[in-house]
Amino acid sequence: MRRWGEWVFWVVVAAAYFLLPSRSMLIAEIATTALFALSLDLVLGYAGILSLGHAAFFGLGAYAAGIAAKNGYGDPLLGLALAAAVAAAVGAVTSLLVLRGSDLTRLMVTLGVASILYELANRLSWLTGGADGLQDMDVGPVLGRFDFDLGGRVAAAYCLIVLFLAFLFVRLLVRSPFGWSLRAIRGNALRASAIGVPVNRRLIAAYTVGAGLAGIAGALLAQSTQFVSLDVLAFHRSADILLVLVIGGVGWLYGGLVGAVVFKLMQDLLSQLTPQYWELWIGLLLIAIVLVGRERITALFRPHAAPAPAE
Amino acid sequence: MTLALETVELRRNFGALAVTDNVSLKIPVGARHALIGPNGAGKTTLINLLTGVLRPSSGRILLGDEDITAYSPDRRVRRGLARTFQINQLFADMRVLENLGVAVHERRGMGSTWWRRARAEADVLELAGRFGLTQVLEQRVADLSYGQQRLVEIALAFACRPRVMLLDEPAAGVPEAEREDILAVVAALPEDVTVLLIEHDMDLVFRFARSMSVLVAGAVLVEGSPAEVAANPRVREVYLGEGGHG
């Protein structure tokens, strides 16, 4: 995205926070989803690893922060750090499975890992609350000063700031030599290794970082809603986040953010109009995007994108 | 004679078939050595063995004094063995600058640097100058002409600053108008870089190579200078004369 475009984007985000205080919970939710999508963009859009189980790390982060808060470690930042560490550790271990084989194998393995964690969380009800969800979390004030309020003002600010910092981190990452090597691997893994790129090590690193960021997103949800249910690990969460990323566009950082805004607003708006059928409209949007071509809409903001083909 | 690259009784079987059959090559430092052979002679398998894409059934590969037989492909590159591909293998969605940058970063051991922006290193600009790519540095590789892509292909391998460079049919598929550019670049490779050229095009081989090996059915049939090889009746029979079976 061009520099002025980036400024405009973040100014609009800040303005939304100050101008729409009544929608604070929705803003917090969008920011959480955006961070989750951003983490998947790093894994899929830059490292080229197709995942249908990214919710595994989101859920791990949510439970890590939730269980910590329930057991007297309610400091939000401590919760984030813990969530990132747990999710990244599991990401690093499972990356060894994920990196074997082709796209289809990866889909199945990521799906499998997420399913196992879901069942595990279901079974270990003494720890996770099982199907009833994790209750009685006691989340402390952010930085020891800002208590989470019912209106969600603190939650929204907190989620947005964490999203912004995580975004800056990922932006730096993908523009660094490390990020270039990821794009090279995604473009042509055979050649990448033929110019000396240790392909597997790089992919493990990217997958681990992506898992850690997803964990942070999960922790944000747990802390801002003070509740964790099995839903954080559910299959539809993995599928939805892929949808969010496809709506916004894979591999340009803002795709996850734009996708999260569009997806959540549509969900919010349409579920009021047609509570049962809002997913129908999301489906139609998706088809429209594929047919019309998102390139033409986003080409405006992208520095190196090829010009949209003329009719 | 110091050797840059040596294979010792290298063998690779696919089932009962020996696709590479006791190949012992000795390639001295600074050589311009061509490897020729009819289709199916095992040239591609030999390259894959040298670069580590395939593991040999038996035998050893030495790069200088170092036994690299068990090394992964990327480790071989970092030890100084780089290759080009018969069909371009590039990062088509990335700019020329980024293509070369990735290779330069890896060579300088900063490929995992994540905490600062990548920029056009001096090495990248120098490479672009050598390969005539300065004007197109900011362009996406996919938008270049085939000849220019071919130059990027060779530049990528050279960016690894190899001691030994394997060129797999460098002029393959290049239109006549751009062919001389490729040949000039190949001819201008520094003398201390050892070049192993795998080629079909006899014109290019005789112009460029100072020594050559003829591979037939996985084994080395003849070795010598181009003149010696060209004069060898067995070679004429299986390959140059096109009279034998291909």
Residue B50 maps to a domain = yes
Q: Is A43 a member of any domain?
A: yes
Structure token pair of residue A146: 């800002």
Q: Give domain status of residue A73, yes or no.
A: yes
Residues A73, A19 contacting (CB under 8 angstroms): no
B80: left (phi over 0), alpha (psi -120 to 50) or beta: left
A67-122 pLDDT per residue, tens: 999 998 989 999 999 999 999 999 999 999 988 878 889 999 999 999 999 999 99
B202 assigned to some structural domain: yes
Q: Give Cα separations from A221 to A54, A140, A237, B33 (angstroms).
A: 15, 15, 13, 63
Calculate the alpha carbon distances from B229 to B26, B30, B34, B234 in Å: 17, 20, 11, 9
Q: What is the H or E stretch that residue B3 is in?
A: strand B3-14
Asked if residue B69 belongs to a domain, the reply is yes
Residue A1 has pLDDT above 90, yes or no: no
Mean pLDDT along residues A206-231 = 96
Closest Cα to residue B23, out of B167, B206, B235, B216? B216
Q: Is A65 part of a structural domain of the chain?
A: yes
| Domain span at A192 | 3-234
Q: Which of B106, B116, B159 shows the shortest C-beta gap to A176?
A: B116
| A141 found inside a domain | yes
Looking at the structure of chain A, the number of domains it has is 1
Alpha-carbon span B205 to A43, nearest angstrom:
45
More confident residue, A304 or A258: A258
Q: Is a pLDDT exceeding 60 seen at residue A304? A: no
State the virtual CA torsion across A279, A285, A287, A292 in degrees, nearest 10: 180
Question: Of the candidates A177, A193, A198, which has its C-beta nearest B118's C-beta?
Answer: A177
Can you list the positions of beta strands (E) in B108-240?
164-168, 194-198, 211-216, 219-224
SS3 B82: strand
> What is the predicted pLDDT for the residue at A151?
85
Whether residue A204 is contained in a domain is answered as yes
A-chain residues near B102 (CB < 8 A): 177, 180-181, 184, 192, 195, 197
Residue A263 has pLDDT above 70, yes or no: yes
Q: Which of A2-6, A69-73, A188-192, B141-145 has the lowest mean pLDDT?
A: A2-6
Cβ neighbours of residue A24 closer than 8 Å, sequence gap 6 or more: A17, A151, A152, A153, A155, A156
Q: Give contacts of B116 with chain A, Cβ < 8 Å.
A: 172, 176
Assess if residue A272 is contained within a domain.
no
Cβ–Cβ gap A196/B85 under 8 Å: no
Cα-flanking dihedrals φ and ψ of residue B22, to 5°? 50, 55
Q: With beta carbons less than 8 A apart as the criterion, state whether A304 and B94 touch.
A: no
The count of structural domains within chain B is 1
pLDDT at A18: 95
- In a domain? residue B52: yes
Q: How many helices (H) and strands (E) in chain B?
A: 9, 11
Q: Examine the pLDDT at B240 and tell me if it is beyond 70.
A: no
Question: What pLDDT sits at residue B204?
Answer: 85
Contact A181, A205 (CB under 8 A): no
Does residue B245 fall inside a structural domain?
A: no
Go through chain A and tell me how many residues it has: 311
Q: What is the pTM of this model?
A: 0.90
DSSP string, A223-256: HHHT-B-GGGG-HHHHHHHHHHHHHH-TTSSHHH
* Contact present, B157 and B165 (Cβ < 8 Å): yes
What is the 3 state secondary structure string of A165-205? Answer: HHHHHHHHHHHCHHHHHHHHHHHCHHHHHHCCCCHHHHHHH
Q: How far apart are CA A183 and CA A251, in angstroms?
A: 9
- Can you tell me whether residue B215 is helix, strand or coil? strand
CB–CB of B91 and A202 under 8 A? no
- State the smallest CA–CA distance between residue A286 and chain B in angstroms: 25
Residue type, B131: F
Looking at per-residue pLDDT, the higher value among A1 and A8 belongs to: A8
Distance from CA of A208 to the nearest CA of B (A): 14
Bridge partner list, B213: B35, B223
Domain containing B93 — which CATH number? 3.40.50.300
Domain annotation covers residue A277: no
Cα–Cα distances in angstroms (integers) from residue A202 to residues A171, A183, B34, B170, in the given order: 17, 11, 35, 30
Mean per-residue pLDDT, B205-219: 90
B236's tokens: 């004429």
Closest to A145 (Cα-Cα) out of A154, A133, A137: A154
Which residues of chain B lie closer than 8 angstroms to A202, CB-CB?
A: 111-112
What is the token pair recorded at A46? 């830059």
For chain A, helix (H) and strand (E) counts, in that order, are 14, 0
- The DSSP element (H or E) to which A263 belongs, if any, is helix A254-273
From the number of C-beta atoms within 10 Å of its C-beta (0-12, 13-18, 19+), residue A310 rates as exposed
The answer to whether residue B8 sits within a structural domain is: yes
Span B32-84, pLDDT tens digits: 999 998 888 888 899 999 999 999 999 999 999 999 999 999 999 999 999 99
Q: How far apart are CA A34 and CA A265, in angstroms?
A: 12
Contact B28, B194 (CB under 8 A): yes
Which of B87, B102, B116 to mutate to probe the A interface, most A CBs <10 Å? B102
Domain that residue B73 falls in:
3-240
Chain A interface, Cβ < 8 Å to B: 172-173, 175-181, 183-184, 187-188, 190-199, 201-202, 205, 304, 306
Lowest mean pLDDT among A115-129, A239-253, A283-297: A283-297
Asked if residue B246 belongs to a domain, the reply is no
Residue A185 lies in a domain: yes
Asked if B73's CB is within 8 angstroms of A194's CB, the reply is yes
What tens digit of pLDDT does each residue of A51-61 get? 999 999 999 99
- pLDDT of A310 reads 37
User: In this complex, which of A176, A177, A183 lies closest to B94 when CB atoms are compared?
Assistant: A183
